[in-house]
Amino acid sequence: MGAIATTKSLNFCSSQEPLSFLSLTKSKTLHPNVNFSKTSLNPHPRLAVRASSASSTALNDSPNPTLSNYDHQLRVKILSESLPYIQKFRGKTIVVKYGGGAMTSAELKASVVRDLVLLACVGLRPVFVHGGGPEINVLLNQLNIPSQFRDGLRVTDARTMEVVSMVLVGKVNKDLVSRINFAGATAVGLSGMDGRLLTARPSPNAAQLGFVGEVARVDPTVLQTLVANGSIPVIASVAADEYGQPYNINADTVAGEVAAALGAEKLILLTDVAGILRDREDPGSLVKEIDIKGVKKMIEEGKVGGGMIPKVNCCIRSLAQGVTTASIIDGRVEHSLLHEIMTDEGAGTMITG
């Protein structure tokens, strides 16, 4: 969520069904009956843009060659009205962890890449951290190496570590870099070993987990240089210890530590769930916003459990180290990244300090 909801919102409204800012960015033809109203800014502003279009088209539809002067003026005015929000976030660093179902769906992968490039184009400074569990599983199966997990973490022996490095650094990372470059931005692929970005240490459960590590230290120098030059760093969650031994590190953990080291405005974890639920059995009980104290209480009460606990703890740790807000959002929803940053509703749960 880019902001706390205000009593006034920036709305483009008509009598027909609402259309979000995301649809406006994709639409080639807009309905002429659109009204504009201003909103007040607060410490976490959102962009809430509403409009109506009976003839909006998808991004990949054929372009409309007959846009009227009014259509052009309307689109310019919409961008102009969003200026205060773009200014608010311009120059701010956001760290996005990419994984789960959004990695296996071609449509969702394209959506995430477009969102990332759009945010970079309007002046945000995204840093992209990724895992790649499904791809790792595929190659392990092909090599007849069994996959084992303990407490949600992959048991990583020497052979598995070699596969993890090949997949995350050599395949997934370069595929994402290529897609981002093709979409019009400049991406640079890294692992934790490049530029001494991350120094790893063994997990406390190394005897059971093998080469599964934690982040001992972050040196953000290489990231600061890339971000300052307008590039998008794409980071694979593999790092080495002081002796050069590679470790497989949870991508959520890497994203949180990188966000803290960069003093990021926002940490966003793309997941396969809607966010934090008050009732894990009720998808409609989504918690839209909560502070650290509140989410710790939910953990104590058992309302947050399973695989959500390490994600929440990652967010808490990053907030404690200076990140402004951290969000857990549904990566299965198309354009959820834009929904989270540039709308009042958001796309999941925002945790504040």
The model's pLDDT over 58-71, given as tens digits with 9 standing for 90+, comes to: 444 445 555 577 77
Query: What's the mean pLDDT when you consider all of the chain?
Result: 81
- 133 annotated active-site: yes
Q: For the ranges 118-132, 147-161, 315-329, which has the lowest average pLDDT?
A: 147-161
Neighbours of 158 (CB within 10 A): 10
**What average pLDDT does this structure show over 129-158?**
90
**What average pLDDT does this structure show over 230-254?**
96
Domain 81-352 sits in CATH 3.40.1160.10: yes
Mark out the alpha helices in 50-147 (DSSP H runs): 69-81, 83-89, 101-104, 106-121, 133-142
Give how far Cα 226 sits from Cα of 127, 182, 190, 212, Å: 10, 18, 11, 28
**What average pLDDT does this structure show over 257-266?**
96
- 174 annotated active-site: no
Give, for 98, the enclosing helix (H) or strand (E): strand 93-98
Domain ranges for the chain, please list them. Answer: 81-352
Candidate list 97, 131, 330, 344, residue with the active-site label? 97
The β-bridge partners of 156 are: 210
**What average pLDDT does this structure show over 67-80?**
69
**What average pLDDT does this structure show over 152-156?**
85
Neighbours of 40 (CB within 10 A): 11
pTM of the model: 0.77
**What average pLDDT does this structure show over 325-344?**
87
Q: How far apart are CA 40 and CA 100, in angstroms?
A: 36
CA-nearest of 88, 95, 104 to 41 is 88
Candidate list 28, 88, 99, 100, residue with the active-site label? 100
CA-nearest of 35, 26, 195 to 115 is 26
**What average pLDDT does this structure show over 70-98?**
77
- 109 annotated active-site: no
- 252 annotated active-site: yes
Residue 88 confidence (pLDDT): 76
Q: For the ranges 56-60, 88-92, 236-240, 347-351, which has the lowest average pLDDT?
A: 56-60
Residue 80 confidence (pLDDT): 67
Would you place residue 25 in the very low, low, confident or very high pLDDT band (cuts 50, 70, 90)? very low
Residue 47 confidence (pLDDT): 37
Candidate list 115, 266, 311, 348, residue with the active-site label? 311
Give, for 221, the enclosing helix (H) or strand (E): helix 221-228
Which residues contact residue 213 at a Cβ distance below 8 angstroms, ignoring those fewer than 6 apart? 200, 201, 202, 203, 239, 241, 247, 248, 249
Residue 339 is which amino acid?
H
3 state DSSP class of 165? helix
CA-nearest of 130, 127, 132 to 266 is 127
100 vs 2 pLDDT, higher one: 100
- 293 annotated active-site: no
Candidate list 133, 192, 213, 348, residue with the active-site label? 133
**pLDDT of residue 85 exceeding 80:** no
Candidate list 88, 99, 252, 266, residue with the active-site label? 252
**What average pLDDT does this structure show over 61-85?**
64
Q: How far apart are CA 328 and CA 349, in angstroms?
A: 5
Residue 188 confidence (pLDDT): 98
Residue 241 confidence (pLDDT): 96
Q: How far apart are CA 140 and CA 143, in angstroms?
A: 5
Q: How many CA atoms lie within 13 A of 89 on its CB side?
A: 30
Give, for 12, the enclosing helix (H) or strand (E): strand 12-13
